[in-house]
Amino acid sequence: MPKPILLAIDDDVSVLEAVVQDLRRHYGQHYRIIRAVSGDAALETCRQLKEREETVALFLSDQRMPGMSGVEFLQQAMALYPDAKRVLLTAYADTEAAIRAINAAKIHYYLNKPWDPPEVKLYPVLDDLLESWKQGYRPAYEGIQVVGMRWSAADYQVRDFLARHRVEYKWLSPEQTPEALELLKKRGIDDTKMPVVLFGDGSVLLQPTEQEMAAKLGLPMQARQEFYDVVVIGAGPAGLAAGVYGASEGLRTLIVEGESVGGQAGSSSKIENYLGFPQGLSGEELAKRAYIQAQRLGAEFLTQRVTSIRTENKYHIVQMADGQEVICHVCLIATGVSYCMLDIPGADRFSGAGMYYGAALSEARGCADEEIYVVGGANSAGQAAMHFSRYASKVRMLVRGESLTKSMSKYLIDQIEATPNIVVETGTEVVSVSGDSHLECLTLKTPRGEETRHANSLFVFIGAAPKTDWLPDSIVCDNKGFILAGPDLKVRAAQAWTLDRDPHLLETSVPGIFVAGDVRFNSVKRCASAVGEGSIAIQFVHQYLATL
């Protein structure tokens, strides 16, 4: 971002040079110092700066100049930059005129010439004025901007992608920010091309795919090597922990993630029962720390979706959605689970247009002062309700069971009970959703009978299913899709294990392919447990590698 400008004006070149040098010596690090030799030249400079949308913080103008006095210049400059501080340089003989100008031209201060030493007679005055100016200064936003309609599923997908990858952005919705359309018009962009993503470098993406967004943001999409000791599929807590321990112990480690680092846990607004963080921390912060830690220790990350694994001569070949393949000695599956979908009339139609699966934290600010609904009674639903309660006027939790005690941690139940704008409705479930272009109504089955409620936002947390439909048949799962490993494999599918030795604790039916975290059969669905499994998996990886 360009520095704010201090503009010095004086027709005496030697005096002007002295002013500029003094300003640069004290303010050059944070401001750009420019000059003009007359009032007319200074006004033309101001017009050019205004066209380029640059900011002027302070004018420092001499009073006695031919053609246009300092007071006259400051009066005209005020129309272009009304918030800039205005300082007049005067000779002792002009002091009375300068005092009158404080009211007439709204001059903030006048300084007598000479101003030596500047440390005493110049800088203290300007420091105070600039500090005052900074109080009201709001620099122009130069980051990523997303222009799109709130109820558009495509717009939600773009914002959700940015949020999942922890990319800061500013959302401009024409319904809430009318100037959004003017911004597109100024850039010559048809508003039928929304969502539009505007980047700070001036480039634009129209209705972008996730692949286009990833490429533009510089997310790694090509593996640097063809062969790795360990390929970790999934960058949730289990996968991140495996990456940290694998890389720290000298294994060439690749972590492949097609959606977002942190997985389902990464969308948790606050995790309060994770060891070592008495004040709690967000899933985003936990994921960010683990990502940085794994990278620092040497793990490589790849933004891709894995479509298949096959095994040839004890080597495992992992194929990505774009066709590229990497080979490894060991593969660790840590893909976690995804939220189950509501199987009710209208659910498919409004997904991303008022109806969201998971926390959808990118929607929180859009729900300001609205009444929203959260479906579910486990920890993820409770954490989401607490987060949305900071923005929404009311959060209604719809819980099918009789209470929260069987499925939610007590600390969350206590917080929900203490939050006045959260209402828990037990014995209640959604039976259908309806609306025009977006979600507008819920039909609920309640203890009192069937009810219809107005609703614009519904967030669903009704259990989770494993992401394993892409796995080969040789990797044995239970009837729900959770991967069998270790002792569970021997008990439930002993015939699938063909080696003389027993499988390692986290080893699947294919030797050298391991599993950790929520995707494993009979796992404990807690963040700390997933981290523990990802960590100990590397111990079994070493044991397996020793047999090759």
CATH code of the domain covering residue 131: 3.40.50.2300
Show which of 445, 462, 479 is a domain's final residue.
462
Query: Are residues 110 and 62 located together in one domain of the fold?
Result: yes
312 found inside a domain: yes
Residue 192 or 512, more confident: 512
pLDDT of residue 150: 84
- Structure confidence at residue 306 (pLDDT): 96
Indicate whether 291 and 268 sit together in one domain: yes
214-228, 268-282, 390-404: range with lowest mean pLDDT: 268-282
Q: What is the pTM of this model?
A: 0.73
- Count how many domains the chain has: 4
Check pLDDT > 90 for residue 142.
no
Is residue 222 included in any domain, yes or no? no
Question: What's the rounded Cα separation, in Å, for the pair 284 and 235?
Answer: 12
Domain termination residue (choose one: 432, 462, 492): 462
What is the rounded radius of gyration, in angstroms, for the C-alpha atoms of the chain? 31
Establish if 405 belongs to a structural domain: yes
State residue 92's pLDDT score: 67
| Angle formed by the axes of helices 39-51 and 70-80, nearest 10° | 10
Residue in the structure block whose two tokens are 């009979």: 522
Compute the average pLDDT of residues 313-342. 94
The residue ranking higher by pLDDT, 151 or 228, is 228
User: Are 250 and 333 contained in the same domain?
Assistant: yes
Shared-domain flag, residues 442 and 506: no
Q: Is 304 part of a structural domain of the chain?
A: yes
- 15/155 same-domain check: no
Q: What domain range is 295 assigned to?
A: 227-338+465-545
Q: Residue for token digits 């933004």?
A: 303
Separation of alpha carbons 165 and 214, rounded Å: 9
Structural domain contains residue 15: yes
Same domain, residue pair 499 and 360: no
Sign of the dihedral through C-alpha 338, 344, 350, 354 = negative
Give the mean pLDDT of the chain: 90
Which of 10-24, 173-187, 220-234 bottoms out in mean pLDDT, i.e. has the lowest?
Answer: 173-187
Same domain, 9 and 126: yes
519 lies in a domain? yes
pLDDT digits (tens, 9 = 90+) for 200-212: 888 999 999 988 9
Q: Which of 540, 524, 516, 483 is nearest to 237 (CA)?
A: 516
**Do 309 and 427 sit in the same domain of this protein?**
no
Give the domain CATH number at 182: 3.40.30.10
**Do both 11 and 41 map to the same domain?**
yes
- Domain membership of residue 111 (yes or no) is yes
Distance CA 334, CA 298 (A): 19
Do 331 and 411 fall into the same domain?
Answer: no
Same domain, 469 and 453: no
Domain with 357 in it: what CATH number?
A: 3.50.50.60
283-302 tens-digit pLDDT: 888 989 999 999 999 999 99
Beta strands in 173-249, from DSSP E residues, in sequence order: 196-198, 204-206, 227-233
Q: What is the DSSP string of 57-125?
A: EEEEEES--SSS-HHHHHHHHHHH-TTSEEEEEE-GGGHHHHHHHHHHS---EEEESP--SHHHHTHHH
Q: Does the pLDDT at position 322 exceed 80?
A: yes
Residue 353 and residue 329 share a domain: no
Q: Give the residue from 427, 462, 497 where a domain finishes.
A: 462
**Residue type for 470, please?**
W
